[in-house]
């Protein structure tokens, strides 16, 4: 049992990162992430954690600095949002393809333009093919727990891929909840010291870390990376079980289910909308609708086999995205859920639902409307028109 503290999501992320004893933290502020690195800077300044803090001039530099420290075998941390993520894209991509493990908090935000600083998941979705593992949290306790788990997943020798711990900007980043914060000695017992040696810089043994790579070798690297992503699905489940044994909290691994055992219709949610979705399911059950919910926790690697199993025997589903797939009038995780089902998708009634862009609310009534629409059309297989959650 740790210490109960009331924390914003950003402070929860910072506290968890500190518990993992990072050797180096790179700090650059951007709304709505800023208080993560500010909080950690205070901990370093006050001597609460023994970490090197580098205050950089941009997000590109932040990722470059942690990249260098990780290449030297250190455990590193940073955080960002939206345009900051876009600015660090070059070293962000290199971080994963060099297979350097780390954890970065991502307080998700809508991308400009039209100009906005408000919540959305477009930033995270825009880099989902940059080779990082992505987990989405729906509460502050989960933020704490997934940063700790994130290091264990990233540093596992079967994986060696950096992890984004994503949570909704403003909704999670700035709102407070009671959090069971593990004690330092508990995290020390759970999380092994950082240990990897596939790319450690050493002045006594110099080598070219990222030389010009010919096509045949590039093919080998990419396949190795994708193979590790597949192995990560098993590691994610293993780490969830280890964490449950140590701390008494399990999140189900790559996805979790709520009242799906006998469900006819299912909504798939991502991050902070999940609690509202559960309430909508409960109300629909009271109305006689056999509704259930699947919480998609990891978008990379996408848990295709588990999604197929979770939807087996259902009649209808909708995926609620807080982002859009440009080129399709649909949400990206709906597209991927549909792809995971392949030809069997047409056995279901299914459609994409999109809402919450630029900080807009995804209300209980909106989710209930999706469940009722699914129930009304559950015996009419095939893809239906996208549902847009527009305010009245």
Q: What is the pLDDT of residues 234-252, one digit of tens each?
A: 999 999 999 999 999 999 9
Q: In this predicted structure, what is the pLDDT of residue 163?
A: 98
The pLDDT tens digits for 37-58 are: 999 999 999 999 999 999 999 9
pLDDT reading at 392 higher than 70: no
The pLDDT tens digits for 3-50 are: 999 999 999 999 999 999 999 999 999 999 999 999 999 999 999 999
pLDDT reading at 195 higher than 90: no
pLDDT reading at 197 higher than 80: no
The pLDDT tens digits for 294-323 are: 999 999 999 999 999 999 999 999 999 999
Structure pTM? Answer: 0.96
The pLDDT tens digits for 101-159 are: 999 999 999 999 999 999 999 999 999 999 999 999 999 999 999 999 999 999 999 99
Give just the sign of the alpha carbon dihedral 223, 229, 234, 239: positive
Mean pLDDT of 269-293: 98
Q: In this predicted structure, what is the pLDDT of residue 204?
A: 85
Alpha-carbon dihedral of residues 138, 144, 146, 151, nearest 10 degrees? 160
Fill in the DSSP letter of residue 50.
-
Q: Residue 9 contacts by C-beta under 8 Å, 6 or more apart in sequence?
A: 107, 137, 140, 143, 167, 172, 173, 174, 175, 177
Instruction: Yes or no: say if 318 and 267 are a contact pair by the CB < 8 Å rule.
Output: yes
């Amino acid at each position: 049992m740790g210490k109960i503290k009331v924390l914003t999501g950003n402070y929860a992320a910072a506290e968890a990162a500190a518990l993992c004893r990072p050797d180096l933290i790179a700090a650059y502020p951007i709304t709505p992430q800023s208080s993560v690195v500010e909080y950690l800077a205070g901990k370093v300044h006050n001597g609460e954690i023994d970490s090197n803090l580098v205050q950089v001039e941009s997000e590109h530099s932040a990722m470059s600095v942690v990249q260098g420290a990780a290449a030297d075998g250190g455990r590193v941390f940073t955080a960002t949002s939206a345009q900051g993520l876009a600015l660090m894209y070059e070293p962000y991509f290199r971080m994963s393809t060099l297979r350097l493990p780390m954890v970065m908090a991502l307080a998700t935000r809508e991308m400009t333009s039209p100009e906005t600083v408000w919540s959305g998941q477009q930033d995270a979705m825009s880099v989902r093919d940059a080779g990082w593992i992505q987990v989405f949290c729906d509460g502050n306790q989960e933020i704490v727990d997934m940063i700790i788990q994130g290091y264990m997943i990233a540093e596992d020798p079967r994986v060696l891929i950096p992890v984004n711990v994503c949570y909704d900007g403003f909704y999670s980043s700035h709102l407070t909840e009671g959090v069971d914060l593990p004690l330092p000695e508990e995290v020390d017992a759970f999380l092994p010291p950082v240990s990897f040696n596939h790319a450690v810089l050493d002045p006594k043994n110099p080598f070219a870390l990222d030389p010009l790579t010919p096509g045949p070798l590039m093919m080998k690297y990419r396949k190795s990376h994708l193979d590790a992503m597949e192995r990560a699905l098993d590691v994610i489940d293993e780490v969830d079980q280890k964490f449950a044994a140590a701390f008494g909290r399990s999140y189900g691994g790559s996805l979790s289910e709520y009242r799906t055992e006998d469900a006819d219709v299912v909504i798939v949610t991502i991050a902070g909308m999940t609690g509202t979705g559960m309430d909508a399911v409960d109300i629909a059950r009271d109305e006689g609708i056999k509704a259930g919910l699947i919480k998609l926790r990891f978008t990379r690697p996408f848990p295709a086999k588990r999604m197929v199993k979770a939807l087996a025997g259902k009649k209808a589903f909708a995926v609620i995205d807080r982002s859009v797939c440009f080129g399709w009038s649909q949400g990206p995780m709906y597209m991927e859920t549909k792809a995971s089902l392949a030809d069997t998708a047409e056995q279901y009634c299914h459609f994409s639902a999109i809402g919450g862009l630029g900080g807009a609310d995804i209300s209980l009534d909106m989710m209930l409307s999706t469940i009722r629409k699914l129930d009304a059309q559950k015996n009419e297989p095939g893809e239906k028109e996208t549902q847009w959650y527009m305010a009245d």
